[in-house]
Structure 1
Amino acid sequence: MGRVNGKVALLTGSASGIGLSTAKLLAKEGCKVVIADFNLEGAKQAAEDIKAQGGEAIGIFIDAGDGKSIEEAVELTVNHYGKINVLFNNVGLTNLKKDLDVVNMDLDEWDRLLNVNLKSVLMGSKYAIPHMIKAGGGSIINTASMAGFHGDAIRAAYGASKAGVVNLTKYIATQYGKDKIRCNAVAPGLILTPAAKNNMAPEVLDIFEKYNALPYHGEADDIGYTVLFLASDESKFITGQTIQVEGGHYIGNPSIPDFRDYMNKAQG
């Protein structure tokens, strides 16, 4: 207990899934959390649930596609709790119907995803950093994705936006390290959030698990604990890094599972 005791954190996109898991873990470890989400009622309910467990939290509205809304969320955090020590830029959108391959890309969707997934990280950091400097430093954690490191058949805009998050993380870390501000990112693989469970067929989940190095999928808390570590002083000498939390899905030769199947059949 108390790993982030006395700190104040603003978490965007945190009314559900990874963001909510992270908010609960931070609050459990002594952090005052501001849950910012487009779903205002969900954000308020999440804050009430945290308070019912003895934590400190408020739920507020944020539109990550609107810079003014992001600025207001930062100012509300500071006005309510007096400071901001941790910023978790967690908002992210994807669209499997419009975010396709390069030739068939919906260009309006390209602009929307780059604005929400990448520019929101810039804007949140832009408005939080001056307050962090006044507070004597801070930790910014950005949600990237394994899509920012590897190509895929579709989701070119999403992948490009997340690759931008990875590199922007390094720039923020470089430019504000002397102000005792650290900036890192977390790149999740497939995580069994409620959205993933509800929208992905069991057969698709089985395909992902087949190519994991570990024999199971990730849970929201796996990302939440990573963010907790990066928010705490335990990671005080880590900055500019993107931690890949993906169960070893991308570390090996991609043909290994198929070769295993082939060898098992040959030996049987």
Structure 2
Amino acid sequence: MAYSLDGKVTIVTGGAGGIGSSVCRIMAAHGARIVVADIDLDRAQALADELGEEAIATHLDLASEDSIGAMFATTMDRFGRLDVIDNNAALLSAEMAQRDGDIEHMATADWDATYRVNTRGTMIACREALKIMSPQGSGSIVNTASNLALQGNLIQAAYSSSKAAVIQMTRSIATSHGKRGIRANAVLPGLTGTPAALAHLPQELRETVEEETLTPYLGGPDDIAHLVAFLASDEARYITGQAFAADGGTSVHIPGFARLSRFFQG
């Protein structure tokens, strides 16, 4: 089904990253006006320049409430309204990924840093977006969570639980603000083939993930971005409070799928 985002002012946090940049490009291609918000302002500006005059860049440190507020001020100064926010930014550095293990070995500082960005920062961004959208009587919030929020894992205890909180936050917003014309949904990517992810992913681990993926390929950033863009559009007007896994089916099958499939399929 075709969908349109013509004229919709859209903030994409983490907009210069792997998935975020795809969201920006695809939403711009469907007519949206884009605010590329990222901690790396140079990359954000380069993408905004690529997208043209209906895109701007702004610095965003999701750990800083002042920085989040400045992002909204910049958006309103330039466009005067806000129709969509895709809360895509998260704490995903390779260094943090190495430290984010199981609960027994979790450093309190790493737990707090993860929640400060992924959960608290997303909450503040949602709160400030709602303050703009509520008087308008319309708006769409799309929060990026993770399929790791659905199941237990050997590692990434802080990241996965912070993203589970984002899913519940999304449901709360959908419930409290639905009658005001505001929708909220969550997208739950699995391992996605961004350049950064592939650069730090050991080949053996990638092969394991690919075996557990039901599709014959590992998804890329555009696979996530198309879902985000659709959920932001008016064509998705009757969809709210939902959490959509976009992970090639890795979160739907029983444990040991790869080994079982070899047994039953020879």
Aligned-pair CA distance for 1:247: 0.2
Alignment of 1:48-127 (within 5 A): 48-51=49-52, 56-94=54-92, 95-127=96-128
Alignment of 1:123-162 (within 5 A): 123-162=124-163
Contact 2:214 / 2:250 at 8 angstroms: preserved in 1?
Answer: yes
String of CA shifts for 1:34-78, please: whole Å, max 9, x gaps.
000000000000101111xxx620111011001111011012101
Contact 1:100 / 1:106 at 8 angstroms: preserved in 2?
Answer: no
Aligned-pair CA distance for 1:97: 2.4
Structure 2 residue aligned with 1:167: 168
Tell me the TM-score normalized by structure 2.
0.95
String of CA shifts for 1:74-114, please: whole Å, max 9, x gaps.
12101101100001111111322221111110110100000
Aligned-pair CA distance for 1:263: 4.3
Relative distance call for 1:65 and 1:202 in structure 2 (3 A) is same
Give the % identical residues.
37
- Aligned partner of 1:37: which letter? D
Where structure 1 has 5 or more consecutive residues not aligned to the other structure, the ranges are none
- Aligned partner of 1:178: which letter? K
Relative distance call for 1:103 and 1:50 in structure 2 (3 A) is same
Where structure 2 has 5 or more consecutive residues not aligned to the other structure, the ranges are none
CA distance in structure 1 between the aligned counterparts of 2:101 and 2:144, rounded to whole angstroms: 22
Pair 1:182-2:183 in alignment: yes
Tell me the TM-score normalized by structure 1.
0.94
Contact 2:150 / 2:251 at 8 angstroms: preserved in 1?
Answer: no
| CA-based RMSD | 1.3
CA distance in structure 1 between the aligned counterparts of 2:240 and 2:261, rounded to whole angstroms: 38
Structure with greater Cα Rg: 1
Contact 1:101 / 1:154 at 8 angstroms: preserved in 2?
Answer: yes
Structure 1 residue aligned with 2:44: 43
Structure 2 residue aligned with 1:257: 258
Aligned-pair CA distance for 1:2: 6.9
